[in-house]
Structure 1
Amino acid sequence: MGAVLGDELGFAAGVMISPLPIIAMILILATPRGRMSGLVFAAGWLVGLSALGAITLVLSGGAGASGNGQPADWVGVLKLVIGLLLLLLGLQQWRHRPRDASQAELPKWMAAIDRFTPVKILGLSLVLSAANAKNAGLTIAAAAAISSSGIPTDQQIAVLTMFVLIGSLGILIPLVVFLIAGERARNTLSSWKNWAALHNAAIMTVLFVVLGMKLLGDGIGILIS
């Protein structure tokens, strides 16, 4: 189990380092009902990652993700496809990066986030966690890798739980800081938001390339073994 968890850390870190969801959480915490809205956003995020990971575990187990102690060939193909997708997203991110990082623009929906109802905040968190191309790809790859490891079901669930928790630290840390420090945390959170917005393109490009190359390597390794 320890070896499988170690392999999952890279995927979890890739989900954790998600500038736009982190910025969204900080903006939500700055709204009049920030405490409750932040809890709703965190709950939706955890549910989204957990549900997608659990569905992948079930489907992968039914499809025979592990055979003779080795991952099935289709797991290698899946990792190749997701790896290529991440590399293409990295290329797109790099080509459309702002020439001047200080002029980087945030999505227009963020300007209206203070008017979001709890239902909209929940929907936003589900989209950013389970429907985001990077996070969805990494979660599917992670869950497929867990299923193909051959460890018992209870250990698979434990590893997936750790993956979700580590992958959620990016949004949970600002929430915890706000819950503990309250209004005193606003300046700190604001500086985090500005830093994430400024370096979003560079961070995402590096993540896409590094994780894409890792998945390509994993996929090739499975197919030729």
Structure 2
Amino acid sequence: MIVVLADLLTLGIAIAISPLSIVAVILMATAGNGRTNGTAFIAGCYTFAIGLVASLVLIGRSAGADDPDSGPHITIDVIEIVLGLGLLVLAVLQWRNRGSHETPKWMARLDGLGLGGAFLVGVIISGPLSPKDLPLLIAAGGRISQASLPVHEIVAVILIFGLIGVIGVAIPWVISVVAPSKVEGLLTGARTWLVSNHAVIMTVLFVILGFKLIGAGIADLAG
């Protein structure tokens, strides 16, 4: 299990480094809703991540992906390579958009959200509308489904992987809970920097992760 988690660590940390998700939690925290809406938002991110990965693992293992010589196992490696190539394309697109420093319009609506709305935004931004996280979650699901582990360890890997993926958004939430009176001063600068450098951060992540997925897929096929 430790070996599988180590293999997934890069993917988990990359999911955790999600500037717009972190900015969303910061906006909730600085608006005074960090403890409530921030909790719901993080729960939404976590729920989608483990739900999607678990579904993919169930499908993969049912098809026999844990057998290194099976067709599904090889198919997952090919999908991983394709996802890596897709991330490299996204890197180019992000780099071309690096001059834009505008805060997305949907963030202006976060103040009016209730718990259910914050949870739903967490679900949406952590996968369906994330060009970075969705491919990484798919790749993680494929990797876990290929692991020859008992069911209880597979479940543990999925849950731990999900926790790694929400570390980034959890940090401003913790600050809003531990030091609510200082949250504005502590997080405003970080919010501005993340919005200004979002495209560059994403470009670097896309390049690194793209080559990682391509390399991992080729190595698995060759081995």
**TM (normalized to structure 2)?**
0.93
Residue 118 of structure 1 and its aligned partner are, at CA, apart by: 2.7
Residues in 2 aligned to 1:187 and 1:63: alpha-carbon distance in whole angstroms? 52
Identity %: 37
Is 1:31 equivalent to 2:31 in the alignment? Answer: yes
Cα RMSD (Å) = 1.6
Q: In 1, are the aligned partners of 2:34 and 2:173 still within 8 Å (CA)?
A: no
Q: Kindly state the Cα deviation for residue 68 of structure 1 after the two structures are TM-superposed.
A: 4.6
1:108 aligned residue: 105
Aligned match of 1:64? 64
Secondary structure at 2:201's aligned position in 1? helix
The one-letter amino acid paired with 1:95 is: R
Structure 1 residues 112-147: Cα deviation after superposition (integer angstroms, max 9, x where no partner):
221223332221110111212211111111121011
Q: Does 1:142 align with 2:140?
A: yes
CA contact (8 A) 1:28 1:113 kept: yes
2:123 corresponds to: 126
Whether 1:42 and 2:39 are equivalent positions in the alignment is no
Q: CA deviation at 1:32?
A: 4.2
1:157 to 155, 158, 177: 155
Aligned pair partner of 1:182 in 180, 183, 191: 180
Structure 1 pair 69–177 and aligned structure 2 pair: CA distance change class (3 A): farther
Task: Give the match for residue 80 of structure 1.
Answer: 81
**Distance in 1 between residues matched to 2:217 and 2:48, nearest whole Å:** 25
Query: Which blocks of at least 5 consecutive residues in structure 1 are unaligned?
Result: none
Moved more, 29-38 or 15-24: 29-38
Q: Which residue of 2 aligns with 1:52?
A: 52
Query: How far apart are residue 30 of structure 1 and its match?
Result: 2.1
Question: Contact between 1:69 and 1:150, CA under 8 Å: does it hold in 2?
Answer: no
Whole-angstrom distance in 1 between the partners of 2:169 and 2:184: 15
CA contact (8 A) 1:52 1:136 kept: no
Large movers: runs of 4+ above 6 Å: none
User: Structure 2: where are the runs of 5+ without partners?
Assistant: none
Distance 2:198 2:33 in 1: 27
The amino acid of 2:214's aligned partner reads L
**CA–CA distance in 2 between the matches of 1:44 and 1:17?**
16
TM-score w.r.t. structure 1 length?
Answer: 0.93
Task: Quote how far apart the aligned CAs of 1:224 are.
Answer: 2.5
Question: 1:85 and 1:187 mapped to 2: Cα distance?
Answer: 38
Q: In 2, are the aligned partners of 1:25 and 1:38 still within 8 Å (CA)?
A: yes
Aligned-pair distance for 1:222?
2.1
Residue equivalent to 1:7: 7
Find the aligned partners of 1:14 and 1:69 in 2 and give their Cα distance: 29
